[in-house]
Amino acid sequence: MMPDGGADARAGQLSELKLIRHEMLCSGEMSDLLAQAEEAAADHLNDWQRTNLARMRRAWRHATALPADLVEALSRAACDCEMKWRSARINNDFKALEPGLDELLQLSREAGGAKGALMGCTPYDALLDQFDSGATVAAIDILFGELEDFLPGFLAEVLEYQAGQPSLVVPTGSFPLEAQRKIALGLMADIGFDFAHGRLDVSHHPFSGGVPEDARITTRYSQAEFLQGLMAVLHETGHAMYERGLPREWRLQPVGRARGMIAHESQSLIVEMQACRSREFTSYLAPKLAIEFGDSPALRADNLVRLFQHVERDLIRVHANEITYPLHVMLRYRLEQALISGDLRVRDLPGAWNDGMRTLLGITPPSDADGCMQDVHWAAGLFGYFPTYTLGALAAAQFFAAAKQRRTDILPSISKGNFKPLMQWLNDSVHQHGSRFSCDELLLQSSGAPLGTAAFKAHLHARYLPD
């Protein structure tokens, strides 16, 4: 809701707050207190407290790696660059974004190098660790390698299969924004979102933020097309439900926060992709759409599920299907590694992006707005974030398979708009544990295996190449 003219003031406020936080974390007193607590940990702390202390030490390590002036410069550059991105994307003007992005990249490289030196890892691994502790290129490359061996061939099979099916009926017309919002709010309530502790608004890019007691969700609507805005709401509601389900007694402590972005993305994708693109959900959704938009063949359950599960070579990541989405992430993963290492210059990013799209997806963006400027992440300084989307998709498939095995009422309940069995399982298995366990440990406890690709591949086979 902030007017464009408020950006400079807001950047200053955020930079000042980050600087104060940084100085508190890096004080000599904080170092002494952590050391004293670690000495007493073995004899006097329980598992929750020990993990809490370890998360504090991790935050301290990330903070002390950076000088205060770099923290302030990074914050200001990220705020400035994001505002430049907004106008540059609208105007398809990469040259307008380039100087700000180049400055932000240089600062991010400096931060990654400083953190890597302290943590004994590469600069990019240090940036990955900011979003999910313990994430490394070595581990991600194994999983992404398995997906790259599988996805292109599978994509070709699915495209061939769907070409032999009856033509889709695409919803057309004008879909009033207020009706879209009404449907979205109703589905959020069905999932269990508490509107006494959160709200839904509109922004340039869908997101979920805030705190557990005040969960803020945004989406963007189009009067000509309603499915993208709706699915964005469902995705962000999954994020918000995770935040709302975190352990109340540890809520203001590091161990009481979400485990990391892999776990976080898994919770959003369980809602959006696993549950809300299922046949059960579409049978529940169709009558609601008919009430608001009128009855039509395009909005009936049998056509809706085909719309939700339609596969094509998408240009835009946020609109991509489950099969092509990981390929979008792999492109960004490779490019941001090259940017951080210095092997790729910002001015060469559009060309490298287009080459990668041709290689991985067989398509070329018609513009930089639909190419390397389509996402806000790099303009916001979030180098190292992108891999968590696909790692989260793998975890979502694994969690959801385990949930359905243990709660056979999950899908039948969703067909009636009842998400309680699913949310109860997720709360018991993921949400209530906060940061006490790693994502691999959560997966081991619930599914019997650490993060892998098998459940994701099985899910794709069952959904997109039915017998």
Q: Decide: pTM greater than 0.85.
A: yes
Q: Answer left, alpha or beta for residue 134, where phi above 0 means left and psi between -120 and 50 means alpha.
A: left
pLDDT band at 41 (very low <50, low <70, confident <90, very high): confident
Predicted local confidence at residue 91, as pLDDT: 97
205 pLDDT higher than 80: no
For residue 111, is pLDDT > 80? yes
DSSP string, 107-176: HHHHHHHHHHHHHTS-HHHHHHHHHSTT--HHHHHHHHHHHHHHHHHHHHHHHHHHHTSPPP----S---
Residue 75's domain comprises: 4-120
Of 72, 82, 236, 243, which is the active-site residue? 236
Query: Does residue 82 lie in a domain region?
Result: yes
pLDDT-based confidence at 15, cuts 50/70/90? confident
Does a structural domain hold residue 63?
yes
pLDDT digit string, tens, across residues 350-369 = 999 999 999 999 999 999 99
- The answer on pLDDT for 199 being more than 80 is yes
CA 269/CA 275 separation, integer angstroms: 8
| Domain annotation covers residue 69 | yes
Q: Is residue 184 over pLDDT 80?
A: yes
**Given a cut of 80, is residue 204 above it in pLDDT?**
no
Q: What is the mean pLDDT of residues 69-90?
A: 94
Range of lowest pLDDT (6-15, 178-187, 260-269, 314-323): 6-15
Give me the number of domains the chain comprises.
1
Strand partners, 215: 198, 210
Q: Is residue 66 part of a domain?
A: yes
Is the pLDDT confidence value at 280 over 80?
yes
Confidence of residue 203 (pLDDT cuts 50, 70, 90): confident
441 catalytically annotated? no
Strands across the sheet containing 207-211:
198-202, 214-219, 207-211
- Domain membership flag for residue 171: no
pLDDT at residue number 319: 87
442 lies in a domain?
no
Residue 68: inside a domain, yes or no? yes
Please indicate, yes or no, if residue 31 is contained in any of the structural domains: yes
pLDDT in tens, 125-180: 999 999 999 999 999 999 999 999 999 999 999 999 999 998 899 999 899 999 99
